[in-house]
Amino acid sequence: MSRARVAVLISGAGSNMKALIEASRDPAFPAEIVCVVSNRPEAAGLALAESLGVEALAIDHRPFARDREAHERAIDAALRARGIEWVALAGYMRLLTPFLVEAWAGRMLNIHPSLLPEYPGLDTHQRVLDAGCDWHGCTVHQVIHEMDAGPIVGQARVPVLAGDDAAALAVRVQAAEHRLYPLCLAAAVEGRTEPIRLEAA
Ligand code: GRF
């Protein structure tokens, strides 16, 4: 079986990246994590990727401060040089320009910590608590020009429990993210379009 060649783009800890790498260790998983790219050379996820045996590249955005697209062209060139077929954004904290979105249209996923279309943007856990919601969760979606939007590949629902603060809720949502993202990456590369729905404890 030929497996889809995937790059994971990160900016931070890389816990979702780790979940994807670990899932891809199963030869039956339809995708292989070929490399990890961070715009922040100090991102802890880079060392984590290396420790898991995956090539880790830092492509710092700061030298490109005046030209966001040039930074993305450098990333795109690195991906193409490695024969990458799919891109998984996993805590990649840069807004994308139309260049990268169009270059990978239909082959780029993102994970967001809310049940989209509810709560796009930052600080989702606190906003969900402030609104008094009973449910929260996470979404894997195809990347389009609009931020935190695009066709939904899958969602996991997580209960909001009495006494939760944002940190406690974040831990519960992240555990769901780590289950959801590998399932969604597998579905996407296999061309399955029925959205995945998980309910987490
Ligand atoms: C995740 O919560 C994800 O939903 C959001 O950024 C966070 C990344 O965490 N887009 P990690 O780097 O995967 O640990």
Pick the atom of ligand 1 nearest to 112's CA: 4
Backbone angles phi, psi at 48, to 5 degrees: -65, -45
* Residue matched to tokens 């379009």: 193
If you ran DSSP here, which 8-state letter would residue 188 be given? H
Return the pLDDT at 200: 77
Query: Alpha helix (H) ranges present in 52-191?
Result: 68-81, 98-103, 124-130, 166-189
Question: Using CA of residue 186, residue 56, residue 49, residue 70, what is the dihedral sign?
Answer: negative
Dihedral (Cα; 7, 12, 18, 19), 10-degree rounding: -90
Which residue CA neighbors atom 2 of ligand 1 most closely?
A: 113
Please, which pLDDT band fits residue 198 given cuts at 50, 70 and 90? Answer: very high
* pLDDT in the model for residue 123: 97
State the average pLDDT over residues 3-14: 98
User: Does the pTM exceed 0.85?
Assistant: yes
Cα 148 to middle of ligand 1, angstroms: 13
User: Each residue of 39-94: pLDDT tens digit?
Assistant: 999 999 999 999 999 999 999 999 999 999 999 999 999 999 999 999 999 999 99
Q: Which amino acid is at 60?
A: D
* 175 within 8 A of 200, measured Cβ to Cβ: yes
Query: Which residues have CB under 8 Å from 168's CB, separation 6+?
Result: 161
Helix 44-51 with 15-23: angle, nearest 10 deg: 20
Residue written as token pair 């990456």: 185
Query: For residue 184, which of 146, 155, 149, 150 has the smallest C-alpha distance?
Result: 155
Q: Is 112 a catalytic residue?
A: yes
Structure confidence at residue 167 (pLDDT): 98
What is the position in ligand 1's atom list of the atom closest to the CA of 17? Answer: 13
The pLDDT > 70 percentage for the chain reads: 99
pLDDT digits (tens, 9 = 90+) for 116-143: 999 999 999 999 999 999 999 999 999 9
Q: How confident is the model at residue 168 (pLDDT cuts 50, 70, 90)?
A: very high
> Across the strands, what pairs with 156?
138, 198
Angle 40-171-117 from CA coordinates, rounded to 5°: 80
Residue 9 near residue 88, CB atoms below 8 Å: yes
The DSSP bridge partners found for residue 199 are 157
Q: How far is the CA of 14 from the centre of ligand 1 (A)?
A: 7
User: Which of these, 46, 23, 47, 43, lies nearest to 33 by C-alpha position?
Assistant: 23
Residue 148 has pLDDT above 90, yes or no: yes
Checking if the pLDDT of 201 tops 70, the result is no
